[in-house]
Amino acid sequence: MIESLRALKSSGRFTAINSLVPYAQFIGLEVELNATGVISVLRNLRSNIGNTHIPAVHGGVVGAALEHAAIIELCYVLELDSMPRVINVSIDFLRPVLAQDLYLQGEIVRHGRRIANMRTTAWQDDPAKLVATAHANFKLAD
């Protein structure tokens, strides 16, 4: 997979990274490039709804997207020999995550050779109104 990832990066097709990850496709995650780097988008899929009354996206799916956005950022910024492995994640739910697209930005707080500490933020209409945040640690190498 790392070979495929390197091929995507070297050919300028990094945004196709989620085609390598079955679960990312399953919940409708995509990657977009912008002026400052990459952002992840969780598409509004009916199958992601956890609360049908509001309706709102399932908190676990939001957590999954936050975690995945951190992995995307690591893969984009660093030249890795293997996929980062999640050690732990702590998610804060700030607002209802409504049935519309969700945008996620991962940020490296600090990384060494073995561990990366990440923070991810998520918003819908307004980037100034965060709907969820997470911080997480990843193992970069065994």
Which chain residues interact with other proteins by CB under 8 A? Answer: 1-2, 20-27, 50-51, 53-54, 56-65, 67-68, 82-83, 85-98, 100, 123-126, 129, 131-132
Closest to other proteins by CB, 35 vs 92, is 92
Q: Which residues contact 142 (CB under 8 A, 6 or more apart)?
A: 82
Least distance to other proteins from the beta carbon of 34, Å?
Answer: 20
Nearest-approach distance from CB 95 to other proteins, in angstroms: 6
For other proteins, which is the closer residue by CB, 41 or 86? 86
Helix count (H) and strand count (E) of the chain?
3, 8
Q: What is the DSSP letter of 121?
A: E
Q: Report the residue number, 38 or 61, with the smaller CB distance to other proteins.
A: 61
Distance of CA 24 to the CA centre of its chain: 9
Q: Which is nearer to other proteins, 22 or 35 (CB)?
A: 22
Q: Which residues contact 137 (CB under 8 A, 6 or more apart)?
A: 86, 87, 88, 115, 116, 117, 118
Q: Rounded to the nearest whole angstrom, what is the least distance from the CB of residue 24 to other proteins in the complex?
A: 8
β-strands 115-123, 102-111 pairing:
antiparallel
**Smallest distance from other proteins to CB 23, Å:** 4
Evaluate whether 90 touches 135 at the Cβ level (below 8 Å). Answer: yes
Q: Which is nearer to other proteins, 38 or 122 (CB)?
A: 122
| Smallest separation, CB 110 to other proteins (Å) | 19
